[in-house]
Amino acid sequence: MINYLYLRDFIDTSKQNYDFIKIFSIGKTVLGNELYCFKFGNGKKEILYTAGIHANEWITSLLLIKFIQNLCNSYSSKEKIYGYDPDYLYNNCSLYIIPMLNPDGINLVANFYKKNSEVYISTNNISKAFPLLKFPSSWKSNINGVDLNSQFPANWDLCKKIKSNLGFNKPAPRDFAGSYPLSEPEAKSLYEFSLIKNFSLCICFHSQGEVIYWKYIDNLPENSLEIAKEFAHVSGYELADTPYNSSFGGFRDWFIQNFNKPAFTIEVGKGVNPLPLDQFNKIYHDNLGILVLGCLIGT
Ligand SMILES: [Zn+2]
C-alpha cells in the first residue's frame, strides 16, 4: 500500500536522478498536501494522465509513479520503452502526469492517520451513516466526504440527482457529489490546470474491471473510437459504455464536453478495491502499451 509520503520520497529521488523532468504542484488538498504534476518531454503536443482521484484506487497512483520511473530510466539510459525510442517520445510530446489527485483520501485508506486524530474521527463519523461500506477500505472520497470525480460541470445537476437518489445526499465514503460543482480544492485545481493547458488527449486511471470507457453521452471526439480500439488491443481490456449512474459529473466527462478531445477512463485490474498489491505487475504489464502509445497518438 502506498501513501502521500511514498510519492514525496519518489519526488526527492526523481529530483536527484532526473534533471530533465519538471515537477510542480497544481494546487493543494483540503489538508494542505500538494497535488504534484510531472512533466516529461518538450514536444508541442500536450497530453494528460491522471490517477488516484478515488482513495481506495491507490494502485493507479503506483501505476503512474512506476511508469514515470521507467520512462525516465529509459530516457537516461537511451534504452527503448515498449519498443519506442525515449528521445522520440521526449521530443514528440509534453506529457503531464498527475499520479495522486486525492492524497488525503489515499492516506486514510493506507491507515496513515492515528485513531485519535481529528481526520480519522470525522471520516469515521461520516462512514457510520453507511454501515455497508467498510471503513476505511471502502473510502473513495476526499477527506470532506466528497467524490472528486462527481464534481465537474458536465451535467452535474443530473449527477447530483442520481447519486442523491442512491442515498448519497450528504458527505459519504463514496458518491456524494458535493454541494456545488468544484466545491473541493482538488477538483478545482485539476479543472483550472486543464483550462490553462491545451491537452489533445487525456487518460484517467481508475480501478477496477479491465475495461476502457471512451464516450461521454453521445460526444465522440475525432479518432476516439480508433484510439480506444488500439488501447484495447495492447492491453487486452474491453471497450465498454459507462454505466448510467456514473455517466455524469466526472473529470473525463467535462474534458470531452469542454474540449471535444479524446479522453479515456481505464479501469485497471479486477477484484474488490483496494486491489491487492500482488496484481500490480500484471496491471503494469497490461497498461504499458497504453501509457506509451498515449504519448504518440492524438493531434
Ligand atoms: Zn474510480
Over residues 34-54, the pLDDT tens digits come to 999 999 999 999 999 999 999
- For residue 60, tell me if it sits in a domain: yes
- For residue 119, tell me if it sits in a domain: no
Could you tell me the CATH number of the domain that includes residue 238? 3.40.630.10
pLDDT in tens, 158-209: 999 999 999 999 999 999 999 999 999 999 999 999 999 999 999 999 999 9
**Cα(43) to centroid(ligand 1), Å:** 30
218 pLDDT higher than 90? no
Q: Which helix (H) or strand (E) holds 163?
A: helix 156-165
**Cα(57) to centroid(ligand 1), Å:** 6
205 strand-pairing partners = 266
Q: Which residues are catalytic?
A: 267
- For residue 146, tell me if it sits in a domain: no
- For residue 22, tell me if it sits in a domain: yes
Q: Is the pTM of this model over 0.85?
A: yes
Name the pLDDT band for 219 (thresholds 50, 70, 90): confident
* 237 within 8 A of 210, measured Cβ to Cβ: yes
- For residue 148, tell me if it sits in a domain: no
Phi first, then psi: what are they for 289, rounded to 5°? -60, -45
Domain limits at 87? 4-105+184-293
Counted domains in the chain: 1
- For residue 140, tell me if it sits in a domain: no
Rounded distance, CA 231 to CA 299, Å? 16
Rounded distance, CA 272 to CA 286, Å? 18
Give buried/exposed letters for 243-269 (b at 16+ CB in 10 A, else e): eeebbbbbbbbbbbbebebbbbbbbbb
**Cα(266) to centroid(ligand 1), Å:** 9
**Cα(139) to centroid(ligand 1), Å:** 11
* 154 within 8 A of 249, measured Cβ to Cβ: yes
- For residue 283, tell me if it sits in a domain: yes
**Cα(144) to centroid(ligand 1), Å:** 17
- For residue 203, tell me if it sits in a domain: yes
